[in-house]
Structure 1
Amino acid sequence: MTFKIFRILIVTAIIFTSCSRDESENQTVVVNVLQKEPLTTAQINATINQVLTSNKQFHWSEMSSQMIWSAALQGQNLITIGFGNSASDFDRSKSSNNQKMQEDLLSIISKYEGKELKDILVSSDEFLNLMDVVITKQETVIALRQSKYIRYIEPADYRYLGDRANNQYEKSSSSTSSGCGFESSTLNTQDYTTVTPNARVPWTFYQHNIPSAWNLSTGRGITIGVIDTGTSPNQTLLGSNFNNGLSTDRSIQKFGTFVNSIWPWSTTTDGSSDLCGHGTSMSSVAAAPRNDKGLPVGVAYNANLVTYRAAENVLLEGYHEQNGVKNAFTGLGNNSNVKIISMSMGYIFSVGKISDGVKYAHSKGKLIFCAGGTSTTFTTFVGVIFPAWMPEAVAVTGVKEGTNYQKCDVCHTGDKIDFTIAMQRAAGGNTVPVTSYYDNQSDYVGGSSVATATTAGIAALVWAKNPTWTRDQVLTKMKQSSRYYPTKNPDFGHGNIDAFLAVQ
């Protein structure tokens, strides 16, 4: 009897194995006769624009295989594959069969591309269930999308903005923008107040009762991670003088994850130094020291800081920019000292690998603030940008000073916004004073970028006052201390935060 049962089990196993193998090997891959030719950039962008102008979020997963394949062809044939046992299976350490899933998918690619592994796999992420591969055939994309292990397939280097993003005039501008720039400005005396020992408090801090909050908390013991363009090597207040004046016993660490290369297989970063200026400004407003140099102070002037040069500029356009941001999120996620992450960069549509990075950091308990969006001449039609719209992120935008809420001249608003910061003066339009790229110089910075870094600083004040709290408790307290609590405004979320109320 035992032998018969054993034979039945063996036969059943053989049948099951055969069925599984047949399911994988006998996939039906048919390219529609009307979709055999690749789409042009104009055709791809027209579809993207149609989605965005309908006030919808653009996701590659909702597009045809022809469109994904066409976009990949125009981006060095690079495709990012997110895999897993379910839509939420992004963490490689939590997938016992992650290696098998990857090997099965690579086998499919090898079969349809007719190439060896060395010619297919560009990179495999250490922490996330994703890999970057080279694919040239639409049949391969179709076959992959039929696999039960696929979470998403996206072109990894398609540049929607194209030459416009490479135009230095577009991505950098005056001191009132949130783009690149090395300018300095003489601050209007009405835009700051001098406090002990000789630091300048930006006017906007008083709009949020931040100086009053300092009587109860200065951010000590909390570490903020800033994902941006790095930190200037020429601004000692964010370097050797990080402990200056009333800012003491804290640390600043600098990392780089951006690879400045046109080749996707390049892995050597260009360091942690800011070559844009934007990241320096964001680090300044979040945690610059309460100094004796006559320069602007940051919100959490006794907080620790970890900065990442993750991209070349604020528009996350291209393979290495998106890869750099993903790696920065996983790096900060794995840093047990970091409580808060601030990112004042983004993109106009979803990027799977960055989404995975955000989810990974969020799963590690990090409180993540992202910029809601700052307009340029070619993105004025876009609402709240990615990744600020994600449920794992807290979206922030800027408004003009005063009680009558008006968005700043270049800021995005919408129902995904959680908080606002008053960062543009009603008269004259001046924005927020910050330390500049060079020593002993200051500047003005605006947009949702500076609003985001300011909010991250306020969160550090709250968490430092309540060091045993969880992320959710800190966020709840911030909401309760805001203008529109408990009902969100459809454009401005919970509105302006009162930092003094938040730390009480």
Structure 2
Amino acid sequence: MKKINLRVALVIAALSVISCSNDPTIENIEEQNNVEVLQKTPLTPTQINAKINEVASSREQFEWTNMDAHFIWSATVHGDQILTIGYGSDDNDFNKENSNAEGIKNRLIQRIAAVEGDGQKKTSDFLIDEDDTFNIIDVKVEDLATVRDLLSQKGIRYIEPTGYRYLDHEVTAKSGAGCGYGSATLNSADYTTVAPGAKVPWTFYEHNIPSAWSYSTGSGVGIGVIDTGLTPNNSLMNGSFNDGYSSGRYVQKYGTYVDSWWPWSSSTDGPNDKCGHGTSMTAVATAPRNNNGMPVGVAYNANLISYRGTKNVVLDGYHEQKGVANALTALGNRSDVKVISMSIGHIFSVGRIKDAVRYANNRGKLIFAAGGTSTTFTNFVGVIFPASMSETVAVTGVTDANYYKECDICHKGSKIDFTVVMQRDGNGSRTTPVLSYYNNQADYVGGSSVATATTAGIAALVWSRHPSWSKTQVLNRLKQSADFYPNKNSQYGYGNIDALQAVQ
């Protein structure tokens, strides 16, 4: 009898344990509630940036679409609720001209309407814009459930909170983002005066550019520069652009950047540079050779098509990214433009710009992009976007040391294609002399930005020499004339280009 009672007691005890483990306790309920509350609470910008920095510092490309719904939604909350959706049957289905993705777009819009605001919103309440060229829609999204639903849908190439401004929340970021209207008195050792009175930067001689001018000066080639615009205050980049030894060419200025916090705004603020960076880049590539005593550009007889596509050099924000993509699309459609120079970028990929780069590349444009210039908030990053794309040619800057050494603020890495000497070794202030923002003024410009514009100018020299060539032939000639060819250095690509050898 005692044995039976013992067995019964053990069975009852076991059943009690099982019963307790299955019943929700107060602690379990509280834990579930806490998880639900956390999921409904967006991450802070500090937390979002920390994750972006973690991925970027590992030399991987940060992609928003690889993040979970809560992370993307959190960034959307802090970015005016703007979400950009690239749709299509696969990653290459981005161009409306060759696409049958209309059904995908309509289905996604219907899904948003069904989920957003518990299905109480009309399409006009959330649809900000539909791109004319690419399979892209911009929508205003408030609900986490909408992001979750979209990520589960087929036909989405990428989903990005394009209103989120990384730089605004990065406390260690420097102000200005590459902007400045400065001028400097050039050291006489940093230039040589040539007829009819122009200054040739010392860096040009490092690449035999003056010798290459005996064969080509860029005539007949259009260089598209996408940056912060072009100064209205320097006549040499305006009415006197076609002057002296620079003749029979033209300069055109456009603006695609919308300076507004309101996503529905579509009026641009014009083509004029309000930063200073764009003026420096256009001048390095194309400034005239005349008797004004100012620094000359690499391709001083090339045509210039300048686009103000962004506010500064960091492609941070909806209107900046849209402005650059629109500029790329416009330049891609021009038959007179052969070369595109972009001394701008971001530490993470931007789907809309990626689509536009591929669009221009497919139309035969040779696109040069800056490999990256370090600041206190990006010195942990490798080659930045869009230089990280295979469709662009990535360029960085090096010093004039007797061995390859990146400039004080330049990025390097396996995705770099070429380098340009643009800094005196051990002296960060002695960089490339360039025409300044105002009349009769010059300045020094460094970093991968000036390296990119310089290389774009060299490409124009080659293409002018061989006008029937394709972009592949021009690029191959640049490679063949560089230091490391036929090999590629793991950090510096093919190295420094010999412009003379490239045009011969």
For 1:273, give the aligned amino acid: N
Q: Secondary structure at the match of 1:477?
A: helix
Quote the residue 1:495 is aligned against: 495
How many Å apart are 1:187 and its aligned residue? 0.5
Quote the residue 1:14 is aligned against: none
1:40 aligns with 2:44: yes
Change (3 A) 1:37 1:165: closer
1:159 aligns with 2:158: no
Q: Percent identity?
A: 58
How many Å apart are 1:150 and its aligned residue? 0.7
Contact 2:46 2:170 in 1 (8 A): no
Q: Secondary structure at the match of 1:108?
A: helix
Q: Which runs of 4+ in 1 moved over 6 A?
A: none
Quote the residue 1:102 is aligned against: 105
**Please, what is the CA RMSD of the aligned residues?**
1.4
1:80 aligns with 2:84: yes
**What is the 5 A alignment of 1:223-302?**
223-302=222-301
Quote the residue 2:396 is aligned against: 397
For 2:164, give the aligned amino acid: Y
How many Å apart are 1:35 and its aligned residue? 3.3
Contact 1:257 1:269 in 2 (8 A): yes
**What is the 5 A alignment of 1:8-87?**
33=36, 35-87=39-91
For 1:247, give the aligned amino acid: S
Quote the residue 1:137 is aligned against: 143
Deviations 1:197-254 (A, max 9, x none): 1100000000000011000011101000000000000011110001111000001110
1:465 aligns with 2:465: yes
Q: Distance in 2 between matches of 1:398 and 1:270?
A: 32
How many Å apart are 1:165 and its aligned residue? 8.4
Change (3 A) 1:165 1:219: farther
Contact 1:165 1:171 in 2 (8 A): no
How many Å apart are 1:357 and its aligned residue? 1.1
**What is the 5 A alignment of 1:145-224?**
145-164=151-170, 170-171=175-176, 179-224=178-223
Quote the residue 1:485 is aligned against: 485
Q: Distance in 2 between matches of 1:241 and 1:427?
A: 37
Structure showing greater radius of gyration is 2
Q: Distance in 2 between matches of 1:165 and 1:479?
A: 40
Aligned pair count? 465
**What is the 5 A alignment of 1:432-447?**
432-447=432-447
Q: Secondary structure at the match of 1:420?
A: strand
How many Å apart are 1:161 and its aligned residue? 1.9
How many Å apart are 1:159 and its aligned residue? 1.4
For 1:493, give the aligned amino acid: G
How many Å apart are 1:503 and its aligned residue? 0.5
Q: Which runs of 5+ in 2 are unaligned?
A: 1-34
Q: Distance in 2 between matches of 1:269 and 1:87?
A: 30
For 1:367, give the aligned amino acid: L
How many Å apart are 1:427 and its aligned residue? 5.3
For 2:320, give the aligned amino acid: E
For 1:73, give the aligned amino acid: V
How many Å apart are 1:44 and its aligned residue? 1.5
Structure 1 length-normalised TM: 0.90
1:126 aligns with 2:132: yes
Q: Which runs of 5+ in 1 are unaligned?
A: 1-31, 173-178
For 1:437, give the aligned amino acid: Y
Quote the residue 1:414 is aligned against: 413
For 2:410, give the aligned amino acid: C
Q: Distance in 1 between matches of 2:184 and 2:312?
A: 21
Q: Distance in 2 between matches of 1:293 and 1:485?
A: 39
Change (3 A) 1:40 1:326: same
Quote the residue 1:360 is aligned against: 359
Q: Distance in 2 between matches of 1:151 and 1:374?
A: 29
Q: Distance in 2 between matches of 1:403 and 1:89?
A: 47
Q: Secondary structure at the match of 1:275?
A: coil
Q: Distance in 1 between matches of 2:156 and 2:48?
A: 23
Q: Distance in 1 between matches of 2:408 and 2:49?
A: 26
Q: Distance in 1 between matches of 2:437 and 2:41?
A: 49
